[in-house]
């Protein structure tokens, strides 16, 4: 029976780490105490977005948004808001500048500037209840393609929509589908890449946790289009909640006949299995991911042949990212021209970003392509905390680069970011303020990629270690001016000669900081000065000096 109030408790991983489960249990208990269980529904949803304000709660129909809840606040919310209809003002979100209470969710600037398509159900429906997904039009897109469209028509729609891969590289999705359909072979596979590994990225996790059925539906539509019967979702073991919700969603879909044999009484059959990855960054690379699913060591191999020709167990395989699949149902239901009307000329639709770092509103956001970096950081992100000065944004994680303040008005799309020496990446955005040392930041990402290199090819295994060692020297005040040239030369060389995407993009953090913050590198080397005050310079040690002297004598 419909209720008078729906209380949505955010159960994304961030809010759960902030103890939202205790809040939910307490709420349940207090409602029971007041005999309100029949009138009020408690719904556990996926991530609502503003993670640093968690645990958060949203009360409908009014849309009152509560933040930073403690167990002790629950009683007051029930007594005042639920029983008497007076929202508890002290727990509502206030905007930093006006300290004004923002009463309804849609008036909060954080939400107002966003356009939620992929995340439209995240934070709104119960991800563990397939009927709530069906209520918002879930599986209608699958029904439509199975009963009204040929596989070719589906692929045509995808091509026309202009959707590009959301995993980072931005390859046109429709063309990938077409290539896999046209590849010879009677057995084909659909694989969902959920091996999200960039530091500071949590878009795919949020989608899998908040709306797992949208990924299942997208995969089923893809399977119909390319002619596959079996799909795999590759998720890393560090995402236990995403795995649990996806597992539950798959079971429910099977129970409702939305996965399995003869879906909607057609000849189309499709099922999905989850494969759990051990958390190696390189397994996000498609050929390494395929090897991992096959039970082999997760190592990439040269391309071509591309997975579309020879993928899983040597069969034609379609690999798309979680967010890419989550877009599919919206394109089928609303049409390719609708989707193509959003965004910029070559980047269509929206992009989900994980905002983190030195920004007021950290969390999960979705914006149309073409929004500027300034809008993302200052309007949605609410600017830099503690009156500090904005320095740069790091986009694309270990494969991406930094964009400095002078490019704040650059629109966010695949091409514009590439011109600036970074990439769209999977969507991690780290905001940096004046307290960040750019040399140290480059070192941090290199430290990560050195660790994560699979070791198969020389440029990546040895070259990255060299880059790291040079950066390490510079941050300790032992750099030489010629190091800068070596960094650039070596970086370009690694990009050109590495086997897979990991090595091909790993020098980006170094190259882009050298491009925009060369001054800082020079200051470190020449003046032994770190303007952010991060690097500690050691005095040159006695022994090392004498060793050098000795060597000089010998040579």
Partner 1 sequence: MKLEDLRKIREKAEKELKLREGKARVKIVVGMGTSGIAAGAREVLKAFIDEIEKRNLQDVIVTQSGEKGLSSHEPIAEVWEEGKPVVVYGNLTPDIARRIVAEHIVNGNPVTEYVIEVKEA
Query: What does the binding site for partner 1 look like in residue numbers (CB under 8 A)?
Result: 1-6, 8, 39, 41, 60-63, 83-86, 124-125, 131-132, 134-137, 139-140, 143, 147, 256-258, 263-265
Shortest CB 36 distance to partner 1, Å: 10
Q: Specify the residue, 272 or 289, whose C-beta has the smaller distance to partner 1.
A: 272
Paired sense of beta strands 64-66 and 230-236, if any:
unpaired
User: Which secondary-structure segment (H or E) carries 89?
Assistant: none
Shortest CB 136 distance to partner 1, Å: 7
Shortest CB 139 distance to partner 1, Å: 6
- Residue 276 forms beta bridges with which residues? 235
- Spatial CA neighbour of 167 closest among 50, 324, 45: 324
Category of 450 on φ-ψ map: left (φ > 0), alpha (ψ -120 to 50) or beta:
alpha
User: Within 10 A of 436 (CB to CB), how many other CB atoms are there?
Assistant: 21
Q: Specify the residue, 86 or 496, whose C-beta has the smaller distance to partner 1.
A: 86
Q: Specify the residue, 87 or 316, whose C-beta has the smaller distance to partner 1.
A: 87
User: Which secondary-structure segment (H or E) carries 553?
Assistant: helix 542-554
Shortest CB 45 distance to partner 1, Å: 10
Q: Specify the residue, 28 or 497, whose C-beta has the smaller distance to partner 1.
A: 28
Preceding peptide of 330 cis, ω within 30°: no
Task: Give the separation between CA 153 and CA 165, rounded to whole angstroms.
Answer: 20
Output the six-digit token pair for 265.
């009484």
Alpha-carbon torsion 235, 237, 238, 243, what sign? Answer: positive
Shortest CB 142 distance to partner 1, Å: 9
Shortest CB 127 distance to partner 1, Å: 14
Q: Please report, for residues 163, 414, 473, the alpha-carbon distance to residue 396 in angstroms, rounded to integers and kept in the order given.
A: 19, 11, 25
Q: Specify the residue, 61 or 553, whose C-beta has the smaller distance to partner 1.
A: 61
Preceding peptide of 305 cis, ω within 30°: yes
Q: Specify the residue, 257 or 314, whose C-beta has the smaller distance to partner 1.
A: 257
Shortest CB 507 distance to partner 1, Å: 47
Q: What is the DSSP letter of 270?
A: B
Q: Specify the residue, 8 or 371, whose C-beta has the smaller distance to partner 1.
A: 8
Contact predicate 269/257, CB 8 Å:
no
Shortest CB 316 distance to partner 1, Å: 28
Shortest CB 247 distance to partner 1, Å: 20
Shortest CB 2 distance to partner 1, Å: 5
Q: Specify the residue, 34 or 528, whose C-beta has the smaller distance to partner 1.
A: 34
User: Within 10 A of 273 (CB to CB), how many other CB atoms are there?
Assistant: 11
User: Within 10 A of 312 (CB to CB), how many other CB atoms are there?
Assistant: 22
Backbone φ and ψ of 70, nearest 5°: -120, 160
Helix axes 212-226, 322-334, angle to 10 degrees: 80
Q: Specify the residue, 140 or 493, whose C-beta has the smaller distance to partner 1.
A: 140
Task: Give the separation between CA 410 and CA 416, rounded to whole angstroms.
Answer: 7
Q: Specify the residue, 131 or 548, whose C-beta has the smaller distance to partner 1.
A: 131
Which residues of 290-426 form beta strands (DSSP E)?
317-321, 350-357, 363-368, 390-395, 401-404
Shortest CB 105 distance to partner 1, Å: 9
Shortest CB 362 distance to partner 1, Å: 25
Q: Specify the residue, 140 or 451, whose C-beta has the smaller distance to partner 1.
A: 140
Task: Give the separation between CA 301 and CA 317, rounded to whole angstroms.
Answer: 15
Contact predicate 217/145, CB 8 Å:
no
Helix axes 240-255, 212-226, angle to 10 degrees: 60
Paired sense of beta strands 363-368 and 428-433, if any:
unpaired
Shortest CB 355 distance to partner 1, Å: 25
Q: Specify the residue, 144 or 473, whose C-beta has the smaller distance to partner 1.
A: 144
Contact predicate 508/421, CB 8 Å:
yes
Residues 6+ apart with CB under 8 A from 382: 95, 96, 109, 110, 359, 360, 361
Output the six-digit token pair for 137.
């039009």
Task: Determine the 3-state secondary structure of 244 from DSSP.
Answer: helix
Shortest CB 137 distance to partner 1, Å: 7
Q: Specify the residue, 2 or 295, whose C-beta has the smaller distance to partner 1.
A: 2
Task: Give the separation between CA 195 and CA 233, rounded to whole angstroms.
Answer: 9
Q: Specify the residue, 143 or 484, whose C-beta has the smaller distance to partner 1.
A: 143
Task: Give the separation between CA 372 and CA 169, rounded to whole angstroms.
Answer: 20
């Amino acid at each position: 029976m419909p209720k008078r109030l729906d209380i949505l408790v955010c159960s994304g991983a961030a809010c759960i780490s902030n103890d939202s489960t205790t809040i939910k249990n307490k709420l349940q208990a207090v409602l029971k105490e007041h005999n309100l269980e029949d009138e009020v529904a408690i719904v556990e949803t996926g991530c609502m977005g503003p993670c640093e304000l968690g645990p958060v709660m949203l009360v409908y129909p009014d849309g009152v948004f509560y933040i930073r809840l403690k167990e002790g606040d629950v009683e007051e919310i029930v007594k005042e808001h639920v029983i008497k209809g007076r929202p508890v003002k002290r727990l509502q979100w206030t905007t930093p500048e006006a300290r004004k209470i923002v009463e309804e969710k849609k008036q909060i600037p954080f939400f107002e500037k966003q356009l939620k398509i992929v995340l439209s159900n995240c934070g709104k429906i119960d991800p563990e209840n397939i009927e709530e997904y069906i209520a918002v039009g879930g599986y209608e897109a699958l029904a439509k393609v199975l009963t009204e469209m040929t596989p070719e028509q589906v692929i045509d729609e995808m091509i026309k929509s202009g959707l590009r891969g959301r995993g980072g590289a931005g390859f046109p999705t429709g063309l990938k589908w077409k290539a896999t359909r046209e590849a010879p072979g009677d057995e084909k596979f659909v694989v969902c890449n959920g091996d999200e590994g960039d530091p500071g990225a949590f878009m795919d996790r949020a989608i899998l946790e908040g709306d797992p059925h949208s990924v299942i539906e997208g995969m089923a539509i893809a399977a119909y289009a390319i002619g596959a019967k079996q799909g795999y979702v590759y998720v890393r073991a560090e995402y236990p909640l995403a795995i649990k919700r996806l597992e539950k969603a798959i079971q429910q879909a099977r129970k409702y006949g939305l996965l399995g044999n003869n879906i909607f009484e057609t000849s189309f059959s499709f099922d999905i299995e989850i494969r759990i990855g051990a958390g190696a960054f390189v397994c996000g690379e498609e050929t390494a991911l395929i090897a991992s699913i096959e039970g082999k060591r997760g190592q990439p191999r040269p391309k071509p042949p591309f997975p579309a020709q020879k993928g899983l167990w040597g069969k034609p395989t379609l690999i798309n990212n979680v967010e890419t699949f989550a877009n599919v149902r919206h394109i089928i239901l609303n049409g390719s021209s609708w989707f193509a009307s959003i965004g910029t000329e070559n980047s269509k639709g929206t992009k989900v970003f994980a905002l983190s770092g030195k920004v007021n509103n950290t969390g999960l956001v979705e914006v149309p392509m073409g929004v500027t970096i300034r809008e993302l950081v200052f309007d949605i992100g609410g600017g830099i905390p503690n009156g500090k000065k904005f320095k740069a944004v790091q986009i694309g994680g270990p494969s991406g680069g930094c964009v400095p303040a002078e490019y704040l008005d650059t629109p966010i799309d695949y091409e514009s970011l590439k011109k600036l020496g970074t990439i769209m990446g999977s969507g991690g955005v780290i905001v940096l303020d004046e307290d960040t040392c750019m040399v140290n930041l480059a070192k941090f990402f290199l430290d990560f990629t050195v660790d994560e290199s699979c070791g198969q090819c020389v440029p990546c295994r040895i070259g990255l270690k060299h880059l790291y060692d040079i950066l390490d020297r510079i941050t300790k005040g032992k750099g030489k001016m010629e190091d800068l040239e070596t960094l650039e030369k070596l970086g370009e060389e690694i990009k050109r000669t590495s086997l897979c995407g990991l090595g091909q993009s790993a020098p980006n953090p170094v190259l882009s900081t050298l491009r925009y913050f060369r001054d800082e590198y020079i200051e470190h080397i020449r003046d032994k000065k770190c303007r952010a005050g991060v690097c500690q310079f050691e005095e040159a040690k006695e022994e090392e000096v004498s060793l050098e002297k000795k060597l000089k004598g010998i040579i």
